[in-house]
Every structure is written in C-alpha cells, then in structure tokens.
Structure 1
Amino acid sequence: MSTEEEVQDKESQLLEACITTLVGPFREKYDEKWDEEAFWEAVENFKAESKKIGYEDPFEVLGKGTFVSFEAIRDILKTGPKPCFREGWKSPYTGEKVDILAIVESLHHASGPKFEGKERIVIVDFWATWCGSCLEIAREFSEIFEKYAGRISVIGLNNDDMFDRQREHNVEKTRTFLEAKNEIIRYSSYIDTEDHLARDTIFMKIGYEGIPCAVLLVDNEVRYAGRARLCIEDPLEEVLKELYPIEE
C-alpha cells in the first residue's frame, strides 16, 4: 500500500469512527431529546478512537468540512435537521394543481418514451447525474413504471446545476450519461431548460431541499412531494387503491 493510500485509509477510518461514535448516536436526539452529558462522554470515546487510528488532532481531517470543533458538531446535532428532512413533514405544495404536460413539453427530451399525459398517476423525479442516491431510486422508479404501465407514468427531470449555478448545464453531456445508464433509467427522461423552468415552476415550491425529490400527481393534483426513497410508497399505494380498487 502506497503512502497516499495509507493516508486515505486512515482518513476513512477516522470518518467512520466519527459517524459511529459521535454523530450516529445523536442524529435523532435534537431539540428536547438532547443529552449534553452523553454527548461529551461520546467525545472522549471518539478522542480515544482517534489516537488509536493515529490522529492526536482529528480536526486536521474533520476540519476540511463543516466539523471544525466538537462544539460545532454539538451545535449541528443539537439543532437537528431542517424541517423538510424530519419525519412527518408535509410539503405546502400538497393539493396544488400542476399542468405537468405543458411543463414537460418545454423541456429537452433525453431518453425513454415521450410523456403524452395519458396516465392519471404521474411520478416526477428530480435528480442530477452527480447524485448517487438518485441512481439508486431510479431503479425502483423503473420497476414501478414497468409494473404499472398504462396506469403510472414516471418522468425523470434532470438538472445538474439546480443548487449551484457554477455547475455545467450541458444537455448533450447528460444525454450521453443517460445512454450509459439506460438499463437503470428506463422511464421518460427530460433535461431542464437552461433558465431552470422545471426547477422554478415545481421544485422550488415543494419546500424540500434535497434530491432525489419526488412529486406524486393524480389528475395533475399534487398528492405527495418530498423525499423520494420510501416516503412515496404509502401515498402511491393509497392512490392506486383509490383509482384501481381490486375487484372482489
């Protein structure tokens, strides 16, 4: 193992120790659940782990990110995640009407079948090529698209620079990416316009500040909007039972 690989291995060990010893146990203990004494006990345990790994000062690695001190870590954990990332959060966009066909027709079609607006149920998936979890959920959306063909349409809306205007907005580059991922993303895929039509018209109204982000539409009405993974399953099942009840 080269010196560079050894350094990377040590850093990985330190980051893993930070997550398992210090961050993980307190991730859900924000607000009134916070335990100050338990946190500082965990800090001492983490310091001991850091020394075993080879770091007297763990912040020579952690300081490269947002964790610049134990007090900073405490404040971040104690404050907890933004409301949109908490269990039970509901998007203010729920119940709104969206002319999804009109929006999609103004975007760049990239791959998969073109959306024609025939299905009553539509899942809109906001994603980016740099988002690993977006590709993971894409597999599930492809399965849903194929399982419920004719009942559910899935539309992937790509916007690589949706959070950062400095990122490149390159339609052809994204099309090439989709060609390489055609076994994973098998539903309708579109690329947002350079002036962020889909982002500004839909995503910015949802209130969810991350991707993958899903919007569930029924007859153009928003039934669910927010975190894609798992959270969309219950509202989708409810809608399917509502529109396509099992005949006894």
Structure 2
Amino acid sequence: MPAEEEVQDKGSQLWEACLTTVFIPFKEKYDDNWDEEAYWEAVETFKAESKKAGYEDPFEVIAKYGISSFEVIRDKLKAGPKPCFRKGWKSPYTGEKVDILGLVESLYHVSGPKFDGKERIVIVDFWATWCDSCLEIAPELSDIFEKYAGRIAVIGLNNDDMFDGQKEHSVEKTRNFLKTKNEGIRYSSYIDTEDHLARDFDNVVRYAGRARICIEDPLDEVLKELYPIEE
C-alpha cells in the first residue's frame, strides 16, 4: 500500500476508534443520564489506542471532523440530540391546522406535478441536497405518491438556502439537481421562499417527524379513516 494511502487508512481507523470508544457508548447518556467519570475513562482508553496507532495527538486526525477537544465532544454528547431526534418526541405542530395549498402557492415550483389541493392526505418532505438520509427516503415517498395517486400528495420542500444563509435562492441549481434524481424524486418539488414559510405551520397535522422511522403507522391510520373501503 502506498504511504499516502496507508496514512489515510490509519486515519480512518483512528476516527472509527473514536466513534466506537468515545461517541457511541455515550450517545444515549445525555442530560440526567450523563456519566462524567465514565466519559473521561473512555477518553483515556482512546488516547492509548491513538498512541498505539502512532498518534501522540489524535486531533491530528479528528480535527478535520470539526472537533477541537475532548471537552467539545463531551459538551455535545452531554447536551444530547435535538428534541426531534429523541425517543418519544412529539411535534408541537401535531393537531394544528395547516393551509397547505396556500403555503405551496407562495413557493417556487421546480419539478413534478403542481399541487392543486385535491388530495385529502398530504406528506410534506423537508429536504436538502446535502442530506443523504433525505435522498434515501425519496424513492419510497415517490412509490407512495404513485401507489396512492389521487389520495395522497407528496410535496418536497427544498431548504438548502435556509441553512447556508444565502439570500438568493438557487432555483436553477435545485432544478438541475432534481433532473439528476428524476428516477428517485417523482413527486411535487418546491423551494422555500425567503420568508421560510415552511416553518410557519385548513389541514390538521397528524404526524410530524422522521419519515423513514415513523411514517407508516400514522399514514396507515389516516388512510383507513379517510378511505375505509378499498376501491
């Protein structure tokens, strides 16, 4: 193996060791479950592994992942994930009314059919071009859109500009990106406006959260309620 590839391989192994020793064991130990002593014991174990791999300072490698100290890692783990990623989380939007048609009419349409408000069930998918998990779920949402045509509408809302701080929306950039994904993203796609209306939630929200993990049960429940007899 060439020297450069060997260094990269050792670096990847060190980062993997950091994940398995320092991160993963404490992933669910935030807030009141935090164990400070156990964390620093794990850090010492990782430091020993780092030295065996030839790194006196492991941050030679892990700094490129945006981490500058073990204190930074500790603070992130201790704070825990955002509420929406915690077990048992329930969106505050659940039970509220949303004017989906009014929302969509103010957005930039970039691909797929335009939403006209005829469907009784609407899935709104917030996504970004850099979000791998968003792109992974897209083909499944496309299948739902086609399987339940006329009953369920699927609307993708791209939020790239909300996160990168740009004032101008890259409509053409997003449209061109979607052209490369036309096999996987076949439903209605829009871009959020400068007012970020996607955050301002006559339809009642029945579920809000991660699609891949939890969407099947609430979707099945609403389908049975609104369409009790299979056509």
- How does the TM-score come out when normalised to structure 2? 0.89
Residue in 1 that maps onto 2:173: 173
Query: SS of the counterpart of 1:124?
Result: strand
Aligned-partner residue type, residue 79 of structure 2: T
Aligned-partner residue type, residue 198 of structure 2: I
User: 2-side partners of 1:152 and 1:120: how far apart?
Assistant: 7
> Number of aligned pairs?
230
Taking a change above 3 Å as real, the CA distance of residues 166 and 8 of structure 1, as seen in their structure-2 partners, is farther
Residue in 1 that maps onto 2:214: 231
Tell me if 1:77 matches 2:77.
yes
Residue in 2 that maps onto 1:158: 158
Q: Unpaired runs of 5+ in structure 2?
A: none
User: 2-side partners of 1:183 and 1:46: how far apart?
Assistant: 44
Taking a change above 3 Å as real, the CA distance of residues 202 and 107 of structure 1, as seen in their structure-2 partners, is closer
- Tell me the CA shift for residue 3 of structure 1: 4.8
User: 2-side partners of 1:47 and 1:168: how far apart?
Assistant: 45
Residue in 1 that maps onto 2:228: 245
User: 2-side partners of 1:175 and 1:228: how far apart?
Assistant: 23
User: Residue 109 of structure 1 contacts residue 191 of structure 1 at CA under 8 Å; is this kept in 2?
Assistant: yes
User: 2-side partners of 1:66 and 1:234: how far apart?
Assistant: 37
Aligned-partner residue type, residue 52 of structure 2: K
Taking a change above 3 Å as real, the CA distance of residues 66 and 102 of structure 1, as seen in their structure-2 partners, is same
1:209-235 CA distances to partner (integer Å, 9 max, x unpaired)?
Answer: xxxxxxxxxx61111223333122222
- Tell me the CA shift for residue 30 of structure 1: 1.4
User: Residue 109 of structure 2 contacts residue 190 of structure 2 at CA under 8 Å; is this kept in 1?
Assistant: yes
Q: Unpaired runs of 5+ in structure 1?
A: 206-218
Residue in 2 that maps onto 1:25: 25
User: 1-side partners of 2:200 and 2:56: how far apart?
Assistant: 44
- Tell me the CA shift for residue 120 of structure 1: 0.5
1:15-56 CA distances to partner (integer Å, 9 max, x unpaired)?
Answer: 211111110011001122222332223222211222233311
- Tell me the CA shift for residue 246 of structure 1: 5.2
- How does the TM-score come out when normalised to structure 1? 0.83
Query: SS of the counterpart of 2:122?
Result: strand
User: Residue 160 of structure 1 contacts residue 167 of structure 1 at CA under 8 Å; is this kept in 2?
Assistant: no
Residue in 2 that maps onto 1:108: 108
Q: Which stretch shows the higher mean deviation, 175-184 or 36-45?
A: 36-45
Tell me if 1:185 matches 2:202.
no
User: Residue 157 of structure 2 contacts residue 190 of structure 2 at CA under 8 Å; is this kept in 1?
Assistant: yes
Aligned-partner residue type, residue 217 of structure 2: D
User: Residue 123 of structure 2 contacts residue 155 of structure 2 at CA under 8 Å; is this kept in 1?
Assistant: yes
Aligned-partner residue type, residue 146 of structure 2: E
Query: SS of the counterpart of 1:162?
Result: helix
User: 1-side partners of 2:199 and 2:110: how far apart?
Assistant: 19
User: 1-side partners of 2:23 and 2:45: how far apart?
Assistant: 12
